[in-house]
Structure 1
Amino acid sequence: MGLTDYQALLIDCDEVLVDRDSGVWAALQPLLDSRGGQPDKERVLAEYNEVVRALYPRFGELGFSGLLCFAHRQLAERWGLKASWEEGMSFARSAAGWSLFEDAPGAMLYLRKFYRLLVKGDRDAEDRGLLCERLGIVADDFISLASDPLKDPDWLLANDLELAGILLVTRPSASDAADTDVCLICRGRRQQPTQCATAYCINSMADLVAQHQLSLRR
């Protein structure tokens, strides 16, 4: 299918629209200062992602802030440090201030003229309204990571969508075993992969807009 043939885009919130890694890195600085040395950013973020993945089965119990708080505590334990619950909650609440990538607001403004925009992520209830406002979507179009709408025929029917009409816009690390066509947003790479294993490999949301504009001209 061409870019102009899809009904909706299902877009990952973090690392596609929101610069989560920069936010996490900044919020971990007090803990890293206690650790000392010169920590490698990629290694620290890889450890953070590993801890969060292990905790995610408990998301229903912990909630978003609880999950991040426990992740902070477990990282401290890994590094032989002590961290209070107050420090953990301060780290968790930093998510409300994670910034959007510079191209995200303009891309969302453009793309919503042509698609229904669904954003997949997790935030505390008190933060979702502001994030949805920043992204230009309604609250019902912000979908929890704990659900999988692409595998829910009732949800697709209720939203007048077909699986084949949804393009998943995601980051490379989250694209395995997708149930629909995938567009990889490969931020931070100077070039797209020489052989793209998905429908589209694009460097940014701004590039997705440019590709859509080219498709309209064809």
Structure 2
Amino acid sequence: MGLTEYRTLLIDCDEVLVDRDSGVWAALQPLLDSRGGQPSRDEVLAEFNTVVTGLYARFAELGFSGVLCFAHRQLAETWGLHASWEEGMSFARSAGNWSLFEDAPGAMLYLRKFYRLLVRGDRDAEDRGLLGERLGIAPEDFISLSEGPQWLTEQGEPLEPILHVTRPSVGRYAALDRCLIGRHRARQPSPCAAQYCINSMADLVAQHQLSLRR
């Protein structure tokens, strides 16, 4: 299906629109300073992702800030360090300041002229409004990762066909067509493991403009 034939884009928030990895890396620096040594960024982020994945079973209980706070505490314990709850909550609240990728605002501004835009991710309620303003979406268009595919049939207007704009490490969601954005890859795999494989939101805009000319 051509890009111009989709009605809705379901866009993952972290590592597609928001530079989560850089935000987490920066917020972990006080803990890493206490740890000492020179662990690599990839190593630390892999440990963080493993801990967060394990905590997501408690997402309904903890919320997003709680997951991040407990992740900070577990990392400290793994590294033989003591971290206070205040330090953990400070780390968790840093999520509100994670930067957008440079191309994200302009791409969202362009794409909303042609599609219904939905953003899929997790944030606390107090952070969703500000993030929505930065991305140009309404609060109801922010879809939690904890929500199942049933929300597709609960919308007041038809959404399909939908293209899921995500990163290569995310599994298929609700059997949707996928556009994989590999921001940190020098080259995209060939053949592509989805309908589209590109490098950035700016590339998605460029591909859409090409589709309009055909």
TM over 0.5: yes
Q: CA deviation at 1:61?
A: 0.2
The equivalent residue for 1:185 is: 181
The equivalent residue for 1:141 is: 141
Question: Does 2:96 match 1:100?
Answer: no
Give 2:95's aligned amino acid: A
Deviations 1:2-30 (A, max 9, x none): 00000000000000000000000000000
The equivalent residue for 1:29 is: 29
Q: CA deviation at 1:124?
A: 1.1
The equivalent residue for 2:124 is: 124
Q: CA deviation at 1:148?
A: 2.4
The equivalent residue for 2:153 is: 154
Contact 2:13–2:121, Cα closer than 8 Å, also in 1: yes
Contact 1:122–1:144, Cα closer than 8 Å, also in 2: yes
Contact 2:152–2:159, Cα closer than 8 Å, also in 1: no
Give 2:80's aligned amino acid: G
1:173 to 169, 172, 189: 169
User: Matches of 1:22 and 1:201 in 2, distance apart?
Assistant: 23
Q: Provide the secondary structure at the position in 2 that maps to 1:174.
A: coil
Deviations 1:63-111 (A, max 9, x none): 1111100000011111111100000000000000000000000000000
Q: Residues 144, 177 of structure 1: CA spacing in aligned structure 2 closer, same or farther, 3 A cutoff?
A: closer
Give 1:155's aligned amino acid: E
RMSD: 1.2
Gaps of 5+ in 2: none
Contact 2:182–2:188, Cα closer than 8 Å, also in 1: yes
Give 2:159's aligned amino acid: L
Runs of 4+, deviation exceeding 6 Å: none
Question: Does 2:13 match 1:17?
Answer: no
Q: Among the aligned pairs, what percent are the same residue?
A: 76
The equivalent residue for 1:81 is: 81
After TM superposition, the structure 1 stretch with the greater mean CA deviation from structure 2, 82-91 or 187-196, is 187-196
Q: Provide the secondary structure at the position in 2 that maps to 1:173.
A: coil
The equivalent residue for 1:198 is: 194
Q: CA deviation at 1:178?
A: 5.1
Gaps of 5+ in 1: none
Contact 1:11–1:170, Cα closer than 8 Å, also in 2: yes
Q: Provide the secondary structure at the position in 2 that maps to 1:81.
A: coil
Deviations 1:132-176 (A, max 9, x none): 000000111001110023x445325x33223xx000000111134
Question: Does 2:9 match 1:2?
Answer: no
The equivalent residue for 1:50 is: 50
Q: Provide the secondary structure at the position in 2 that maps to 1:118.
A: strand
User: Matches of 2:173 and 2:142 in 1, distance apart?
Assistant: 22
Contact 1:175–1:184, Cα closer than 8 Å, also in 2: no
Aligned residues: 214
